Copies of this chain bind each other. A is one copy, B any other.
Amino acid sequence: MNQNKNVVALDLPIPEIKDMPEDTQKYFQICQEKLGMIPNVLTAYSQNLKQLEGFTRLYNELMLGEGELSKLEREMVAVVVSSENKCYYCLVAHGAAVRVLSGDSELGEHMVMNYRSARLDTRQRAMLDFASHLTRSPATVTEEHIQALRDAGLSDRAIWDLSNLIGFYNMSNRVAIASDMQPNPEYHSQTR
């Protein structure tokens, strides 16, 4: 029987934390200390430590690495992509992050519900319009949409990072939806 129904609906061989390699245990301990929980997405990936490693390295660089986009903006992109794809896990987790980082609970709701209803500056609006377009209809994205980002002030490097972010949540939305991943309950009450 699947003992991980509170993590994912798939029956995966998720190990006990005590049976994980030492550095994974350490990573999970840091999560517990910093976030007050181990995000279920990490628990789910722990059934395959190489996948976990690749996923967390890419995640950490895209969300926390150096770059032109602020951490709040990256979370806003995460939520807008997840809103187009209607991914419950990511909307709960990253909606909370937008609330926490901005201290503005309504901004989080706007991103979850429809970013077009928020009052945003031109640059953020351009970023989120691109996130929506590249998510909904990648086949029709062309040079002119890239130029619109440049016109809004993004450097080519920022456009690369933005595209990677949009891509990343198009990946994790699909993994979370297919596995019916459940967000940790702690997210719901953050910065309400």
Residues in A lying within 8 Å of B, measured CB to CB: 2, 8-13, 44, 47-48, 50-51, 53-62, 65, 83, 85-89, 91-92, 105-106, 109-110, 112-114, 116-117, 134-135, 138-143, 146, 156-157, 159-164, 166-168, 170-175, 177-180, 185, 188-189, 192
Q: Are A53 and B57 in contact (CB under 8 A)?
A: yes
* Separation of A61 and B143 alpha carbons in the complex (Å): 32
Chain B contacts for A65, CB-based, 8 A: 48, 50-51
Contacts A10-B156, A50-B65, A57-B54; A86 near B139 (Cβ below 8 A): yes
Chain B residues within 8 Å of A50, by CB: 57, 60-61, 65
Q: Measured between alpha carbons, how far is A139 from B174 in the docked complex, in Å?
A: 9
Which among B10, B134, B141 is the interface contact of A160 at CB below 8 angstroms?
A: B10
Give Cα A13 to B10, complex, Å: 42
Cβ of B179 and Cβ of A160 under 8 Å apart? Answer: yes
Closest CB-CB distance, A77 to chain B, in whole Å?
Answer: 12
State how many copies of this chain the complex holds. 6
Are B171 and A167 in contact (CB-based, < 8 A)?
yes
Q: Nearest Cβ distance between residue A179 and chain B, in whole angstroms?
A: 6
Most chain B CB atoms below 10 A, which of A48, A89, A178, A189: A178
Q: Is the CB of A163 within 8 A of B189?
A: no
Contact of A114 among B88, B156, B174 (CB under 8 A): B88
Interface contact A159-B10, CB-CB below 8 Å: yes
Question: What distance in Å separates the Cβ of A184 from its nearest Cβ neighbour in chain B?
Answer: 12
Question: Which of B11, B53, B105, B171 is A171 in contact with, Cβ under 8 Å?
Answer: B171
Chain B residues, CB < 8 A from A160: 8, 10, 12, 44, 47, 175, 178-179
